[in-house]
Amino acid sequence: MTQQEANSYILGIESSCDDTSAAVIKNGKILSNVIATQDIHKQYGGVVPELASRAHQQNIIPTVDLALKKAGITKKDLSAIAFTRGPGLMGALLVGTSFAKAMSMSLNIPMVEVNHMQAHILAHFIAKEGEEKAMPKFPFICLTVSGGHTQLVLVKDYFDMEVMGETIDDAAGEAFDKMAKIMGFPYPGGPLIDKFAKEGDKTRFDFTHPRTTGFDYSFSGLKTQFLNFIKKCERDDPNFVEKHKADICASIQATIVKTLFSKLKKLAEQENIKDIAIAGGVSANSYLRKELYKLGEKKDWNVFIPDFEYCTDNAGMIAITGYHKFLKGEFIGQEVTPFARLKI
C-alpha cells in the first residue's frame, strides 16, 4: 500500500493575512477547522502587517494544537502538512511557512505548498464524513471576492484554473471596507455594511456602476464617488450617516453586487457554463448570497456558495487543497520560501 492509499491525515495551516488557522482533513473529509481572528487591527482601521506577523507567532502553536485535539489525533498521526505559500503579507506567510517546515522536519513527513486563491475556490470540495454535499463539476466558473482579490476564474480542474478577469484597482472586500471606514465603522467594515443593509432600502441612493472592459473590475472610482457623496451630505447634515445608515449601506451594497454579477453573467454566457460558484470573504455577504440564488434560478445555473466557515480565510481550504496535491504526490522541499505575489 502506498502512502497515498493508506489513511491520510493532512494538517492545513493558513497565515496569509490576519487570521491564524489550522485544520485537519482525513481522507478528504474535514475533522477540524480552528480560526484565531486577530482583533488588534480593529483599532488601526486596517491590517497592520507587523502586528499580524507577531499575532501569528503567538497564535500558531495553540491553534495547531487545538485543531489536532478537535480532530482526535496527535501530531504523530499526520501524513503531510499543507501551508499557504502566497499570495499574502510576507511576514505573515513566513510564520506559517517556517512552522510547516519545522514540523515537517521534526515529524519526517512531506510538505505541500498551497496557493491561497486556489484554496478559496477548492473550499467547495470540503465535506464532513457522511455528509452528502453537492459540489461543482469541472469546468465551472468561480467569482472569488476577498479583501485582497476579485477574480473571475474558469476552473477546468483542481489545479487547472484560468483567471478570465480581475480588478484593476481595489478588491470588492477592500471597497466594502473602505466605504465602511468613510462612514466611521471599524475594520473590517464589510460584515457591518451587510448587517445594517438588512433594514435599508437599496433604491434610496443612486451610485454609478463602474465601467470596465472585458471581464475586469474596478472599484476605486466608486469609492471616490461615495466619499464625495458622504462629504457633501454631511456638510448639509452632520448626522447624515447615522440617520440614513441602513439605506446608504443597502444602496452601496446593491451597487457592488450588481457590478460583480454583470461580468459573471457575461462570462457564463460566453463559456456556456451553468455551474457557478462564489468564494472568498465577501461571499459571506447575505445579500450577495440571496441575489446569486435568485439569478441562478433565472439563468438555470447550479449555484454553489460555501458554508460561512469556509468563505473567509480558514485552514480547511488549505487542507483540502493540500489533500488533492498529496494524492498527486506533489510535495515541496525545505528550500521553499513564501511568495507574497503568488499567482493562480
Applying CB under 5 A, the residues found at the interface with Zn ion are 146, 313
CB 124 within 8 A of CB 136: yes
CB 85 within 8 A of CB 342: yes
Cβ proximity to ligand KG4, 79 vs 285, nearer residue: 285
Q: Please state the closest distance from residue 77 (CB atom) to ligand KG4, in A.
A: 29
Residue 27 backbone dihedrals phi, psi, to 5 degrees: 45, 40
Residue 98 backbone dihedrals phi, psi, to 5 degrees: -65, -40
Q: Residues 190, 210, 322, 338: which binds ligand KG4 (CB under 6 A)?
A: 190
Cβ proximity to Zn ion, 18 vs 313, nearer residue: 313
Indicate whether 147 belongs to the interface with ligand KG4 (CB under 6 A). Answer: yes
Q: Which of ligand KG4, Zn ion, none has residue 282 at its interface (CB below 5 to 8 Å by kind)?
A: ligand KG4
Q: Please state the closest distance from residue 184 (CB atom) to ligand KG4, in A.
A: 15
Q: Residues 177, 255, 267, 278: which binds ligand KG4 (CB under 6 A)?
A: 177
Q: Please state the closest distance from residue 1 (CB atom) to ligand KG4, in A.
A: 37
Q: Which of ligand KG4, Zn ion, none has residue 190 at its interface (CB below 5 to 8 Å by kind)?
A: ligand KG4
Size of the site for ligand KG4 (CB under 6 A): 18
**Which residue is nearest to ligand KG4, using beta carbons?**
281
Indicate whether 167 belongs to the interface with ligand KG4 (CB under 6 A). Answer: no
Q: Please state the closest distance from residue 159 (CB atom) to ligand KG4, in A.
A: 19
Distance of CA 102 to the CA centre of its chain: 26
Q: Cell 465577501 appears where? A: 282
Cα torsion through 105, 327, 26, 127, rounded to 10 = 130
Cβ proximity to ligand KG4, 46 vs 296, nearer residue: 46
Q: Which of ligand KG4, Zn ion, none has residue 219 at its interface (CB below 5 to 8 Å by kind)?
A: none
Indicate whether 249 belongs to the interface with ligand KG4 (CB under 6 A). Answer: no
Q: Which of Zn ion, ligand KG4, none has residue 194 at its interface (CB below 5 to 8 Å by kind)?
A: ligand KG4
Residue 147 backbone dihedrals phi, psi, to 5 degrees: -70, -25
CB 246 within 8 A of CB 199: yes
Q: Which of Zn ion, ligand KG4, none has residue 312 at its interface (CB below 5 to 8 Å by kind)?
A: ligand KG4
CA distance 120 to 318: 8
Residue numbers 120-139 binding ligand KG4 by CB under 6 A: none
CA distance 100 to 250: 42
CB 126 within 8 A of CB 323: no
By DSSP bridging, strand 29-37 and strand 19-26 are antiparallel
Which of these ranges, 68-76, 95-103, 184-192, 236-244, lies near ligand KG4 under the rule CB under 6 A?
184-192
Q: Residues 176, 185, 215, 219: which binds ligand KG4 (CB under 6 A)?
A: 176
Q: Residues 12, 165, 200, 280: which binds ligand KG4 (CB under 6 A)?
A: 280
Residue 198 backbone dihedrals phi, psi, to 5 degrees: -60, -30
Q: Residues 60, 282, 305, 320: which binds ligand KG4 (CB under 6 A)?
A: 282
CB 12 within 8 A of CB 55: no
Indicate whether 200 belongs to the interface with ligand KG4 (CB under 6 A). Answer: no
SS (H, E, C) 145-205: ECCCCEEEEEEEECCEEEEEEEECCCCHHHHHHHHHHHCCCCCCCHHHHHHHHCCCCCCCC
- Region of residue 130 (phi > 0: left; psi between -120 and 50: alpha; otherwise: beta): left
> Amino acid letter at 53?
S
Binding site for ligand KG4 (CB under 6 A): 17, 146-148, 173, 176-177, 188, 190-191, 194, 280-282, 284-285, 312-313
